[in-house]
């Protein structure tokens, strides 16, 4: 399918408007002891309420529809070396047909097209080989197109590690080639189904089986979409003029069953509750472009008119990020900045392993 992108019109906001001071100690380095035991900042009304995530069922109504992103985080981080012996690291972003992949590469000097890399010792030593085909999606692309010596998903499962975000630190005297049991289990949703993400849809990490059962008993329905979260989600916006930012590209799908569930929810007067910004981007891409699957580069900033999502469950995001702009577009800039000030003052935990908030869509002015 063709790529779906939106470039925002000139805005009264600049990049600096989405900056804030975050004490480093509020960046969560480990998940809460229990998934649903994290905190929930209820910002769905003008009056802010501090809650625990397991209170969510009481905040939703029978007939509402929760929409989750069912993407599964792949073990996309793999170590190796060039033929010269120089160390390198791949972060596989996308799997293509014919044992080909698209990846980020961390290395002191990039190999030339045709160059062979020996991952985890190379094929002769129990690992696998990778040949650089060129840049992707074209010769000016920031990613690399590689041919692997075997099926990529099987190779990642055997040799890769969970690609934790750059702000989560793990102690190691040298580069670690293994996952901790905690990260392997908790940096994955309980309903992850479709392999392809290099970052978790973190708002969904708060849901456990007991909470899902309570929501079902309350009459809250469920549906799923897929958006394979890419490493671009962590890339900072570098242009003060927001409209000059080029959004990263991610693959998504809205199944027919989910389309029907959304239509039924709207017809009965229920609310569509997106779990995470990736779900918002998926649903609004589908609504805006009419494509049920494909690549999206949608960039949601204040002034965007939402067509599907009524409420949003989301974690706290990086300063100056596209996700700060998305939530500001959804719930209102002043309201979001007030919620962030409250969260910092009350020691909420931030980012992927952090706490969550509940938002209601602000009608466009």
Q: What is the pLDDT of residues 3-51, one digit of tens each?
A: 576 655 545 899 999 999 999 999 999 999 999 999 999 999 999 999 9
- For residues 97-124, one letter each, b for 16 or more C-beta atoms within 10 angstroms of the residue's C-beta and e for the rest, the string is eebbbbbbbebeeebeeeeebbbbebbe
Write down the pLDDT at residue 1: 43
Instruction: List residues bridging with 41 in a β-sheet.
Output: 50, 357
Is 339 in a helix, a strand, or coil? helix
Tens of pLDDT, residues 153-201: 999 999 999 999 989 987 654 445 667 889 999 999 999 999 999 999 9
User: What is the number of residues in the chain?
Assistant: 365
Tens of pLDDT, residues 206-234: 999 999 999 999 999 999 999 999 988 88
Tens of pLDDT, residues 324-353: 999 999 999 999 999 999 999 999 999 999
Q: Cα–Cα distance between 90 and 163 in angstroms, integer? A: 10
144 and 267 housed in the same domain: no
106 and 49 housed in the same domain: no
The answer as to whether 251 is a domain residue is yes
198 and 241 housed in the same domain: yes
The answer as to whether 173 is a domain residue is no
272 and 237 housed in the same domain: yes
Among residues 95, 112, 111, the alpha carbon closest in space to that of 103 is found at 95
The answer as to whether 231 is a domain residue is yes
65 and 93 housed in the same domain: no
pTM above 0.85, yes or no: yes
The answer as to whether 169 is a domain residue is no
Q: Cα–Cα distance between 179 and 300 in angstroms, integer? A: 34
Look up the domain containing 243 and give its range. 4-73+185-360
141 and 239 housed in the same domain: no
Specify whether the CB–CB gap between 6 and 242 falls below 8 A: no
The answer as to whether 337 is a domain residue is yes
Write down the pLDDT at residue 173: 40
For 192-255, the three-class secondary structure string (H helix, E strand, C coil) is CCEEEECCCCHHHHHCCHHHHHHHHHCCCEEEEEEECCCHHHHCCCCCCCHHHCCCCCEEEECC
Could you tell me the two tokens for 221?
């329905």
Which CATH number does the domain housing residue 253 bear? 3.40.1780.10
The answer as to whether 102 is a domain residue is yes
Specify whether the CB–CB gap between 164 and 170 falls below 8 A: yes
194 and 58 housed in the same domain: yes
Q: How far is CA 175 from the centre of its chain?
A: 25
81 and 148 housed in the same domain: yes
Write down the pLDDT at residue 82: 95
Q: Domain end: 144, 159, 174, which one?
A: 159
The H-or-E segment that residue 325 falls in is helix 322-331
Specify whether the CB–CB gap between 100 and 131 falls below 8 A: no
340 and 202 housed in the same domain: yes
Could you tell me the two tokens for 106?
């961390």
298 and 224 housed in the same domain: yes
Work out the burial of residue 209: count CB atoms within 10 Å of its CB; fewer than 13 is exposed, 13-18 middle, 19 or more buried. exposed
State how many domains the chain has: 2
The answer as to whether 171 is a domain residue is no
132 and 262 housed in the same domain: no
Residues 6+ apart with CB under 8 A from 118: 80, 81, 82, 83, 125, 127, 129
Q: Domain end: 143, 159, 175, which one?
A: 159
The answer as to whether 23 is a domain residue is yes
Give mean pLDDT, residues 105-122: 94
Write down the pLDDT at residue 137: 87
Longest CA span, the chain: 64
222 and 86 housed in the same domain: no
Is 101 in a helix, a strand, or coil? strand
């Amino acid at each position: 399918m063709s790529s779906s992108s939106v470039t925002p019109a000139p805005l009264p906001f600049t990049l600096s408007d989405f900056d804030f001071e975050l004490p480093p100690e509020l960046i969560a380095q480990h998940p809460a002891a229990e998934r649903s035991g994290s905190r929930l900042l209820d910002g769905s009304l003008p009056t802010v309420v501090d809650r625990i995530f397991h209170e969510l069922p009481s905040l939703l109504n029978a007939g509402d529809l929760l929409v989750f992103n069912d993407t599964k985080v792949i073990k996309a981080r793999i170590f190796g070396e060039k033929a010269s012996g120089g160390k390198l690291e791949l972060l596989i972003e996308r799997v293509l047909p014919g044992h080909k992949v698209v990846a980020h590469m961390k290395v002191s000097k990039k190999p030339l097209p045709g160059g062979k890399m020996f991952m985890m010792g190379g094929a002769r030593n129990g690992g696998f080989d990778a040949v650089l085909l060129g840049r992707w999606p074209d010769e000016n692309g920031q990613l690399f197109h590689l041919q692997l010596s075997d099926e990529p998903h099987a190779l990642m499962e055997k040799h890769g590690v969970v690609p934790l975000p750059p702000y989560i630190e793990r102690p190691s005297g040298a580069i670690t080639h293994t996952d901790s049991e905690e990260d392997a289990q908790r940096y994955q949703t309980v309903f992850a189904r479709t392999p392809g993400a290099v970052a978790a849809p973190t708002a969904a990490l708060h849901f456990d089986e007991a909470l899902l059962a309570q929501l079902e008993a309350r009459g809250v329905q469920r549906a799923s979409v897929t958006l394979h979260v890419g490493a671009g989600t962590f890339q900072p916006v570098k242009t003060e003029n927001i409209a000059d930012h080029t959004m990263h590209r991610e693959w998504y799908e809205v199944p027919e069953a989910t389309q029907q569930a959304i239509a039924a929810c709207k017809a009965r007067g229920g609310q569509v509750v997106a779990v995470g910004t990736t779900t918002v981007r998926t649903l609004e891409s589908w609504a805006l472009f009419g494509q049920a699957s494909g690549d999206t580069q949608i960039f949601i900033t204040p002034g965007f008119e939402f067509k599907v999502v009524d409420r949003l469950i989301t974690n706290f995001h990086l300063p100056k990020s596209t996700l700060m702009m998305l939530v500001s577009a959804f719930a209102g800039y002043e309201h979001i900045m007030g919620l962030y000030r409250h969260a910092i003052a009350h020691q909420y935990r931030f980012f992927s392993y952090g706490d969550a908030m509940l938002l209601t869509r602000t009608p466009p002015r």
